[in-house]
Amino acid sequence: MSDPGEALANAKAAADRIVKAKRLNACLTPPKELRQSLQKQAQAAHPSGVLYGMPVAVKDNICTLDFTTTCGSQILAGYRSPYDATAVAKLKAAGALIAGKTNCDEFGMGSSTEHSAYGRAVHPFDKTRVPGGSSGGSAALVAAGAVPAGLGSETGGSVRQPASFCGIVGIKPTYGRVSRYGLVAFGSSLDQIGVFGRSVHDAARVLSVISGRDPRDSTCEARDPLRLPTVPESLQGFVVGIPKEYFPPDLDAAVRRACDRAIRVLKELGAAVREVSLPHTPYAVPTYYIIAPAEASSNLARYDGARYGPRFDGALDVRALYRATRGTGFGPEVRRRILVGTYVLSAGYYDAYYRRAQQMRALIAQDFRNVFDRGVDLLFTPTTPTPAFKAGEKLADPVAMYLSDIFVVTANLAGLPAMSLPIGRIKGLPIGGQLIGQAFLEDEMIEAAYALERMVPGTEDA
């Protein structure tokens, strides 16, 4: 597309679809503001851009000049960033249209998008269920067909898990592939911006645009943007590892059937499939839930009522101001994680928890290196242990909620690229399969995903 008239029509149609999907509570931008901004952006977009006229919804923890950035939190209500995140600036430079900000768990802390100060997001196929999280708003909008692509962020599976629940493609790149500049920090050693698409190609081409070096983020590798692979005829020459720890005896039967079918397809496509072991996998969730809260407790110290967002006035001194602002501005899950993070970093507990978790993280990363060093190119696993769960089902038990991330947090801990794509359904609910690649070899992972997507009946019952 290079016709400005078409871009304007595209913008209007996208705004209509997003407004129509209001029941999902997925978009936090008011309809009038969204329509005006999309029209303005369509008029300003450069027709030569590779994403010219493509509407992309952006998770509300990624800074945008055009819309507020609240991170799904009351403590940043009304906050407008004075700059665009690098990923957003790159999208705009490629001609994409930022199609509003999407609902998310507060500061990315959650697996269901129920922990948002702006109400829970709703699963696009079943209103009694969650779309996953924390990037559930972007996932729901893409799955509902309101936008072809969206940005999310991952600290522990927050793109792949909702992609799996909503039946779309979600890619988390290697740590350092995409700039974190303008991504509101949660766990800095884990955070990455990821992408959603209705197809592997849509997700991959958005990833290609936002990837690459950024002098504003020292953790972003000085590499060229990702080059998209072609769709392969076969997977001859690929060695795909199936880690046995990701197929426990209590794995949901439909998820297992869908994975078995996808593995058969991998073999039919010519890939060599072999069982492998990642022995420290059972410790990944506990490790993650020490490291991420520890980093969050530090990163979120900046929200104190002095510099950002609303403050809760009436305090007699500055310390009371901090405590009142933070105590009322943060929701229960964020408060819980800040407290756990502060606890594991406090004197007397640091060695038993935080230092030990860092060592465990090294062992988990070493597990992956051992497998890849033995000639395995990619790993295939289920993305989640079950399809989308019911709203409210896991709210009372934080650990049960955390365990829904059991197959996704390892890639964040090891900094590896990983993606989820639809591999089947059960009673209308999508099931996702996960590919985990080697660092900075997203092209191989996407190549295999292209082949799988073409051959696996992703919308048929498993």
* Binder among 137, 167, 309, 458 for another protein (CB under 8 A): 309
Q: Is 199 in the site for another protein (CB under 8 A)?
A: no
* Binder among 22, 40, 244, 319 for another protein (CB under 8 A): 319
Nearer to another protein, 71 or 456 (CB): 71
Interaction residues for another protein, span 399-418 (CB under 8 A): 399, 402, 414-415
Q: Is 328 in the site for another protein (CB under 8 A)?
A: yes
Q: Which stretch binds another protein (CB under 8 A): 120-128, 253-261, 339-347, 375-383?
A: 339-347
* Binder among 322, 372, 389, 450 for another protein (CB under 8 A): 322
In whole angstroms, how close is the CB of 40 to another protein at the nearest point?
Answer: 15
Mention every residue, 6+ apart, whose C-beta is less than 8 A from residue 94.
49, 50, 51, 52, 209
CA-based nearest residue to 55, from 15, 5, 114, 115: 15
Residue 154, H or E segment: strand 149-154
For residues 162 and 197, the answer to whether their CB atoms sit within 8 Å is no
Nearer to another protein, 23 or 80 (CB): 80
Q: What distance in Å separates the CA atoms of residue 339 and residue 232, rounded to the nearest whole number?
A: 49
Please give the positions annotated as active site.
59, 134, 158
In whole angstroms, how close is the CB of 417 to another protein at the nearest point?
Answer: 11
Strand 429-436's sheet: what is its strand order? 97-102, 55-59, 149-154, 192-197, 169-172, 418-426, 429-436, 378-382, 239-243, 272-276
31-44 and 4-20 helices cross at what angle (nearest 10)? 160
Nearer to another protein, 327 or 375 (CB): 327
Burial class of residue 100 in the structure, from the number of CB atoms within 10 Å of its CB (0-12 exposed, 13-18 middle, 19+ buried): buried
Q: Is 224 in the site for another protein (CB under 8 A)?
A: no
Interaction residues for another protein, span 243-272 (CB under 8 A): none
For residues 27 and 68, the answer to whether their CB atoms sit within 8 Å is no
In whole angstroms, how close is the CB of 66 to another protein at the nearest point?
Answer: 10
Helices (H), ranges, 192-252: 200-210
The two structure tokens encoding residue 70: 């609240």
CA-based nearest residue to 210, from 323, 90, 40, 93: 90
- Helix, strand, coil proportions of the chain in percent (round to 5)? 40, 15, 45
Q: Which stretch binds another protein (CB under 8 A): 129-137, 148-156, 236-244, 356-364?
A: 356-364
Q: Is 353 in the site for another protein (CB under 8 A)?
A: yes
Interaction residues for another protein, span 69-108 (CB under 8 A): 79-80, 82-83
Cα-based angle 392, 166, 379 (whole degrees, multiple of 5): 110
φ, ψ (nearest 5 deg) of residue 294 = -60, -45
Q: Is 44 in the site for another protein (CB under 8 A)?
A: no
In whole angstroms, how close is the CB of 140 to another protein at the nearest point?
Answer: 27
* Binder among 263, 272, 362, 455 for another protein (CB under 8 A): 362
Nearer to another protein, 13 or 339 (CB): 339
Nearer to another protein, 124 or 341 (CB): 341
The dihedral region occupied by 291, where left means phi > 0, alpha psi between -120 and 50, and beta the remainder, is alpha
CB atoms closer than 10 angstroms to residue 316: 7
Nearer to another protein, 136 or 415 (CB): 415
Helices (H), ranges, 70-183: 86-93, 136-143, 160-166
In whole angstroms, how close is the CB of 2 to another protein at the nearest point?
Answer: 29
The pattern of x and - marking residues 46 through 65 that bind another protein according to CB under 8 A reads: -------------------x
In whole angstroms, how close is the CB of 126 to another protein at the nearest point?
Answer: 28
Interaction residues for another protein, span 272-301 (CB under 8 A): 280, 283, 286-287, 289-290, 297, 301
Q: Is 13 in the site for another protein (CB under 8 A)?
A: no
Hunting for tokens 């800095």 — which residue is that?
Answer: 188
Nearer to another protein, 189 or 386 (CB): 189
Q: What distance in Å separates the CA atoms of residue 223 and residue 211, rounded to the nearest whole number?
A: 9
Q: Is 343 in the site for another protein (CB under 8 A)?
A: yes
Burial class of residue 17 in the structure, from the number of CB atoms within 10 Å of its CB (0-12 exposed, 13-18 middle, 19+ buried): middle
In whole angstroms, how close is the CB of 219 to another protein at the nearest point?
Answer: 4
Interaction residues for another protein, span 159-178 (CB under 8 A): 175-176
Q: Is 359 in the site for another protein (CB under 8 A)?
A: yes
Q: What number of chain residues touch another protein (CB under 8 A)?
A: 73
Interaction residues for another protein, span 97-156 (CB under 8 A): none
Nearer to another protein, 36 or 234 (CB): 36
Interaction residues for another protein, span 368-397 (CB under 8 A): 397
Cα-based angle 230, 234, 238 (whole degrees, multiple of 5): 95
* Binder among 305, 387, 422, 458 for another protein (CB under 8 A): 305
